[in-house]
Structure 1
């Protein structure tokens, strides 16, 4: 059974945050790091399959993903699931619940995860005293909207093969930027059911689409996930240019 453990102890103090070592993230000023250290309440560790946040619930905390993968999703009353996006190190989760009272989607751990925990009630002090960090929160929400725009385009206008090619290229590019592969082979910890629930395809159709990309030697399916063999080939097939490289903030 999936477990979650919340601790006020800090294995990763803000002053030694591993995300600050990544070229993908902007540098923080000393005063910002000092504020974040006070803002942070501890760390949450969850096992693969744990529900980090549940749709319809209220949560007193915000989280920044420090280690691992997760995904956001919504459920229909009959249990059908739509995965709306994937979360990776540096992503902020729980802001929606902070501003709207309750969560409008759920977040599940795709692998073991470590998250930094922040007190939702202290969010206004960030806006009041640290406008640069407040801008960062706005930037993160705008970036999420941009990713959802691209995902909607994919589901609405790309063919099944193009959708899958885009999704895999998109996940590899994001994961590589935040160190989720650490120089190892680019294996995504997803099942074909995850793909089906993201792309709006049946599991049978997903399996056939996967086989077409395997036949083109663009990917290999393994027991622990999907190994991408040719990201440039996936980008070309999906007609996606890879987006613009931007140094990004995190909270």
Structure 2
């Protein structure tokens, strides 16, 4: 992972703790997480956070920024599996299975809280509620992948694109990433194509159809959502609902 060490954010003053989106820690849990955290690391947009096949002595929580998980075939074709945002845990797979089964790349500048993998045993032995949180986080990833697989397998290209953009928009909105403005989701049309399993030409045509309906507007720095209800209707999806989720 290429990046740089950052000034450490005190866990007690973590900006994520101020969001209603996340459950509160008990005082004992907060003290443990403060000890568990060994530092922070920052990477630039386009940098690889973790590489498929790599082994790492650490796992990470995204403190700020956007990224995505992906796998590649031998000929370089890429499938984006899902996207990571603040509060998401990355590297747990490598910690439990010995090596990463996918790669993670930064979409924007990303800051990560760094935790030592060797201290996971203490978490499981002494903090069962935090251990449950890790299980919840893993189950949530499975649920997201289920929905993504449904999109690729059964939704039309237009429905797939609408679902993806609605999902990313609603997740980001819950995390206050737009600061009250409907600012661009920082993805390119190639990212959309690699997520949906479409050619770049088909993706471009599909996004133009969504733009023609007035639900999105493509900008230089990504995609602006203008009508989230319209996107949800096109996707045939009820929307993202997740209240008081845990994070480490």
Q: CA RMSD in A?
A: 1.1
Mind listing any 5+ residue stretches in structure 1 that lack a counterpart? Answer: none
Q: Which residue of 1 aligns with 2:3?
A: 4
Alignment of 1:1-251 (within 5 A): 4-7=3-6, 9-10=7-8, 12-251=9-248
Q: Distance in 1 between matches of 2:177 and 2:107?
A: 12
Moved over 6 A (4+): none
| Cα distance, 1:135 vs structure 2 | 0.4
* SS of corresponding position for 2:191: helix
| Cα distance, 1:187 vs structure 2 | 1.2
Contact map agreement 1:172 1:186 (CA 8 A) in 2: no
Contact map agreement 2:2 2:49 (CA 8 A) in 1: no
Mind listing any 5+ residue stretches in structure 2 that lack a counterpart? Answer: none
* SS of corresponding position for 2:210: helix
Normalized against structure 2, the TM-score is what?
Answer: 0.98
* SS of corresponding position for 1:99: helix
